[in-house]
Amino acid sequence: MQPTVTSFHHAGTGTWSHVVADPATHAAAIIDPVLDYDWKSGRTATAAADLIVAHCRGTGLKVRWILETHAHADHLSSAHYLQGLLGGEIAIGQGICSVQRTFKTLFGLGPEFQPDGSQFDRLLDDDSTLPLGNGSIHVIPTPGHTNDSVSFLVGNAVFIGDTLFMPDSGSARCDFPGGNAAELYRSVQRLFLLPAGTRVFVCHDYSPGGRAPVCESTIDEQRRNNTHIRDGVDEAAFVKMRTERDATLDVPNLVIPSVQVNIRAGRLPPVEADGVSYLRVPVDVFGKPKK
């Protein structure tokens, strides 16, 4: 089965979400959908998610899966919202439990939050397979950016999350809790073993140099041209580059709301006695101390 892929760019966070479908049966998976969130007002919105709803309904897709490549730190997931409208099971790599334990501590979450992955419908084992119409989705473990990161191979298309960016933009940071640059290097080497013509879909593009945002390359293009990891770059050189670069990066704008929602599969925290859902802001926890 060679899938059709429709991609959606979220300008506010530079995120690419994808809908991958079996053209014969119209079975579909939504990958890394975004929930709009305004930090200043604390308001969510569903404009980005509703574009995916309209696409799925308009083309008669039957949503079987809503997949997360990892617990994102830069945008909120609309998985829960989409499931309410389109159905499907929400799935993420089994490494999410470790991510949940880490962030339960960092955010001081209470006993209502169990770091056992139970917020998701399915936890994905490394190298497991999910059905999609006449084909399947192969789960490739690709830790490094985070330790729950996975990639999804569907026919000749692979959805790599934040493992690599477009070739001119390199690779994702590895300095979040559980991140590891050497692991990321090895994950990329595994992706590089895919056939050269495999279509590669990224989760982010930040339009370097003002070019239009794009989301698709090939394994061959990445192996030849990726500015951080390409054929001939060894692990030690990559780890040095990545570590030095990460030391210069500020925390993502939406890390505080994103993580709290994404470890809950796109749900807001439970409403409190007044009927309002609250996010927590741990003071002097994230980022580097200001001098």
Q: Among all residues, whose Cβ is closest to Fe ion?
A: 162
What are the residues whose beta carbons fall under 8 Å from the beta carbon of 207, sequence distance 6 or more? 14, 213
**Measured CA angle at 221 (ends 225, 69), to 5 deg:** 100
Query: Is residue 32 a contact residue for Fe ion (CB under 5 A)?
Result: no
On whether the CB atoms of residues 62 and 27 are closer than 8 A, the answer is yes
CB of 161 to Fe ion, least distance (A): 7
Considering beta carbons, is residue 61 or 238 the nearer one to Fe ion? 238
User: Do the Cβ atoms of 82 and 56 come closer than 8 Å?
Assistant: no
**Contacts for 265-270 with beta carbons within 8 Å, 24 or more apart?**
265/68, 265/77, 265/79, 265/80, 265/90, 265/92, 265/119, 265/120, 265/121, 266/33, 266/35, 266/76, 266/77, 266/78, 266/79, 266/80, 266/81, 266/82, 266/90, 267/80, 267/119, 268/44, 270/112
Residue count at the site for Fe ion (CB under 5 A)? 2
> Can you tell me the distance from the alpha carbon of 116 to that of 80, in angstroms, rounded to the nearest whole number?
18
Angle (nearest 5°) at CA 54 between 77 and 162 = 35
Nearer to Fe ion, 72 or 267 (CB): 72
CB of 172 to Fe ion, least distance (A): 6
Q: Quick one: 162 or 183, whose CB is closer to Fe ion?
A: 162
**In whole angstroms, how close is the CB of 58 to Fe ion at the nearest point?**
29
Q: Which residues pair with 8 in a beta bridge?
A: 17
State the minimum distance, in angstroms, from the CB of residue 72 to Fe ion. Answer: 5
- Which of positions 69-108 make contact with Fe ion (CB under 5 A)? 72
Nearest approach in angstroms of CB 48 to Fe ion is 17
Of 162 and 205, the one with the shorter C-beta distance to Fe ion is 162
The minimum distance between CB 74 and Fe ion, in angstroms, equals 6
Residue closer to Fe ion, measured from CB, 72 or 230: 72
Binding mask 128-167 for Fe ion (x = CB under 5 A): ----------------------------------x-----
Q: Which is nearer to Fe ion, 27 or 165 (CB)?
A: 165
What the block records as the tokens of 204 is 């982010």
Shortest spacing between CB 62 and Fe ion, in angstroms: 28
Neighbours of 170 (CB within 10 A): 18
Nearer of residues 9 and 72 to Fe ion, judged by Cβ: 72
CA 132 to the chain's CA centroid: 20
Minimal distance, residue 145 CB to Fe ion, in Å: 6
| Stretch in the footprint of Fe ion (CB under 5 A) among 37-45, 64-72, 226-234, 242-250 | 64-72
Our CB check for Fe ion shows the closer of 72 and 80 to be 72
Give the dihedral sign, CA 21/27/32/37: positive
Binding site for Fe ion (CB under 5 A): 72, 162
